[in-house]
Amino acid sequence: MSISLFNNYLNRIYSKFYDICYENYKGLTKNPRWLLMRKIARFKTGRAMMIFFLKRSVKLYSSVLSESDCYFPDVNVDDVVNTLKTEGLYLEINLPQDIVKEIIEFAHSTVCYGNRKTNMGFFYAQKEQAQTKSGKHFLIGSYFNTSLLCPAIKKLQNDPKLLAIATKYLDAQAVHQGNLMWWSFSGDITYRQKSQAAQLFHYDIDDYRFLKFFFYLTDVDDQSGPHICVRGSHNKKKLSHLWLRKRETDQDISDYYGSESLVKICGKAGFGFAEDPLCFHKGITPTHKDRLILQIEFARTDYGMQQDFRAASLLKYI
């Protein structure tokens, strides 16, 4: 085995060990119920049993729709839900351009935080100066308190069409779990850094059933960090993916699911899609242009672990 391959192997072992320790520490100190869910929900049978025992009545989505307040009047709820059930992915839930403009203006006029650290605040246009001043290399730049600071995002998380889709897909009244908006910065990074930035194949466990909507806020092509989803992988995983949950290699995913199952998602600013995050997915590392993306998540239960809220007293500018 070459030194390079051996180092990559050690990096993968270290990354897995660190992730396990961090997950257990976070769950035990912040929300043991969330941690228990994470242990059970990786298994399809476990999810089905818990959903059965936690069964809730469904609020009919037709009763909450108001097209005048909806960003997506042409999106058909049944089409989205049926496609999600079989493929785990639905494309073309696109934002109006005036909303895209409003959110981008917010992003450029609001402090983001390097590598999600609350003491590493800077304006996007000042990233290079912030890195030099802090002595840190930023993989991502995240925003906090988005729904409190940006009316367009607040309205989007309450959009009746998104709520209708989530409610029907979750088979329970959809609960807003949280928003995330972040820059993925271009450049070469290490394996460990890719793991930290969610740029290796993985799947999420945020509830027994949950759903995410993603919206590109910059144009995304092959060189600017397209999202990749493995179609159908929310319904099928091999045992090692369940018992040894970790970041997976491109080769392992391609060998098991077939390269035709990998959907690389490119699109102009405003392009949106829905995804069951139990599908394997990743963001490709941008090489030439930074990517800005917004994520809005719904679930059956809010464990208080996915929100982007941070107290103003914690947020520090570099």
Condensed to tens digits (0 to 9), the pLDDT of residues 266-310 reads 999 999 999 999 999 999 999 999 999 999 999 999 999 999 999
Q: How far apart are alpha carbons 13 and 15 in whole angstroms?
A: 5
State the pLDDT at residue 228.
Answer: 98
Average pLDDT, the chain: 90
Domains of the chain: 3-314 (2.60.120.620)
Q: 62 φ, ψ to 5°?
A: -65, -25
State the pLDDT at residue 143.
Answer: 98
State the pLDDT at residue 62.
Answer: 46
pLDDT tens-digit profile of 203-262? 999 999 999 999 999 999 999 999 999 999 999 998 888 887 878 889 999 999 999 999
Q: How far apart are alpha carbons 240 and 219 in whole angstroms?
A: 36
What confidence tier does 60 reach under pLDDT thresholds 50, 70, 90?
A: very low
Please identify which residue in the block is written with the tokens 């729709």.
65
Residue 174 Cα distances to 36, 170, 180, 283, 306, angstroms: 21, 7, 18, 26, 15
Tokens of 220: 């995304």
Nearest to 156 by CA among 77, 94, 81, 239: 94
Q: How far apart are alpha carbons 15 and 212 in whole angstroms?
A: 25
